[in-house]
Amino acid sequence: MSVHTWLTDTPLEVADVLARVGTHEDGAVALFLGTVRRSNAGRDVVGMRYDAYLPMAERVLAAIAAEALERMGEGSVAAAHRVGEVPLGGASVAIAVASPHRAEAFDACRYVIEEIKVRLPVWKLERYTDGTEAWLGGAPPPAPEPAETAS
Partner 1 sequence: MRVNILLFAHYRELAGTDAVALELPDGATAADAVARLRAAGATLARIPAAPALAVNEAYASLETALADGDEVALLPPVAGG
Would you tell me which residues interact with partner 1 (CB under 8 A)? 34, 50-53, 55-57, 59, 81, 92-93, 113, 116-125, 135-145, 148-149, 151
Alpha helices in 34-101 (DSSP H): 54-72
CA separation for the pair 47, 38 (Å, rounded): 8
State the nearest-atom distance from the C-beta of 63 to partner 1, in Å: 10
Q: Of 22, 17, 8, 3, which Cα lies nearest the Cα of 50?
A: 8
Instruction: Rank residues 15 and 136 by Cβ distance to partner 1 and give the closer one.
Output: 136
Rounded CA separation 34/96 (Å):
12
Give the residue with the Cβ less far from partner 1, 49 or 71: 49
Q: Which is nearer to partner 1, 1 or 139 (CB)?
A: 139
3 state SS of 146: helix
Kindly give, in sequence order, each residue whose CB lies less than 8 Å from that of residue 128, ignoring residues fewer than 6 positions away: 43, 44, 45, 46, 134
The residue among 69 and 112 lying less far from partner 1, judged by its C-beta, is 112
Min separation Cβ 144 and partner 1, Å:
4
